[in-house]
Amino acid sequence: MEAPSSPSNVVCVASHFKGEEFLRECKRLGAHVELVSRRRTEHEPWPREALDDAVFLPDDAGAELIMHVVSQLARPRKLHCLVALEEFDVVTAALAREHLRLPGLHSSAARRFRDKLVMREAARDAGLRVPEFVHVLNYQEVGEYMERVPPPWVLKPRSDVSASGVRVLEDSEEVWRAVEALDAREALQDKSTYYLLERYVAGEVFHVDSVVEGGEVAFAGASRYGRPPMNVVQEGGVFTSATVAYESREHEELLRFNAGLLRALGLERGAAHAEFIKGADDGELYFLEVAARVGGAYIAETLEAASGLNLWREWARVELAHARGESYGRPERRHEYGGIALSLARQERPDTSAYDDPEIVFRVSKPNHVGLVVRSPSLARVHELLGRYTERFTRDFSAYVPPPDRREVNL
């Protein structure tokens, strides 16, 4: 896609530092690019050369202020594209699109990608396999659910990201105590009606990361977590993820399940990060959750290592093609394998110079984090390297910070 004679105008909303490659690609394609973020990110290394303007709002700015600022940005030049680069802004950006009458994901559809209860209901209603769940609302329904579905159960906040606020409960007494404790909280959004209870499914956890155009998946990569993200967040240790073998049955099933899920939830274009679990008892795939964004934890860099395609850049191309009435085109990809090992670090700037394997293609530079992305034509080699780095990271770098009961997790 080449830059047009008259630029498209793009506003990106990001409450955290995310999406540098999206911004760069928009500018490369000739767009006028503006950023709306928070003061806490003002000194982050945003690609200033790609930004025509940047507005940094107070950290506690609500949706109304963000919508007002976006509206003001649309006054001097017609706005063609409004994008939320980060999980916490998906619904706010959708409300702003409705206010400005812009195309794209609107609020009812956006909540299917933000509210874990809503997304489960939509997936179940579409005939997709979901662990049995109940909204923590009506006491009789919760009680009947616990009589019908055997423990353990997972108590999950409906809108937090990653594994923040998640608890595994073993019996009904634990559940009722947890409900009572939640309802004693002062903040209304922390009370039990903002939670769901779900059957705990033991097994391997996978993620599929996609670019969607015209309601269909244009590009996707399927990967397997080394340990479930909930375990890493709650127990510490090294996070790993690697490409699923291309010729495997799991790879085919994951891509098919993911495509059906995104169609059922109504994503017309953009990026998506979906998680699934393969039950240890029955070998079936179950839907866990999905977000209308690029996955965190350097998943984009890992998928790029395997495929040669960057999710952020492809998403930008999709958005600008739509804004200009042009065809996006299905990208060509390579079929190698990628993997990542990532951990919190005791050191502010961990030194990984002793890690010199030629397969390393990316080194994480975030303070108090250590991470390496590898690429190889051999999946066995990727797994070998990730296993070795897990042992070495644990010895050389790894730190553990217990998660608060609720927080914004921003990998």
Quick one: 183 and 212 in the same domain? no
Has residue 352 been placed in a domain? yes
Pairing of strands 239-243, 337-344: antiparallel
CATH number at residue 45: 3.40.50.20
Handedness of CA 222, 224, 225, 228 (dihedral sign): positive
Domain boundary among 77, 111, 145: 111
214-227 as b/e: b if 16+ CB within 10 A: eeebbbbbbbbbbb
- In the chain, the number of structural domains is 3
3 part of a folded domain: no
CB-CB contact of 247 with 238 (8 Å):
no
Domain encompassing residue 390? 203-396
- Whether 236 is covered by a domain: the verdict is yes
* 65 plus 168 within the same structural domain: no
CATH number of the domain that 322 lies in?
3.30.470.20
pLDDT in tens, the chain (411 residues): 555 545 799 999 999 999 999 999 999 999 999 999 999 999 999 999 999 999 999 999 999 999 999 999 999 999 999 999 999 899 999 999 999 999 989 999 999 999 999 999 999 999 999 999 999 999 999 999 999 999 999 999 998 755 557 899 999 999 999 999 999 999 998 999 999 999 999 999 999 999 999 999 999 999 999 977 777 777 788 999 999 999 999 999 999 999 999 999 999 999 999 999 999 999 999 999 999 999 999 999 999 999 999 999 999 999 999 999 999 987 889 999 999 999 999 999 999 999 999 999 999 999 999 999 999 999 999 999 999 999 999 999 988 776 655 433 333
> Do residue 107 and residue 214 come from a single domain?
no
How many helices (DSSP H) and strands (DSSP E) are in the chain?
A: 12, 16
Q: Name the DSSP class of 119.
A: H
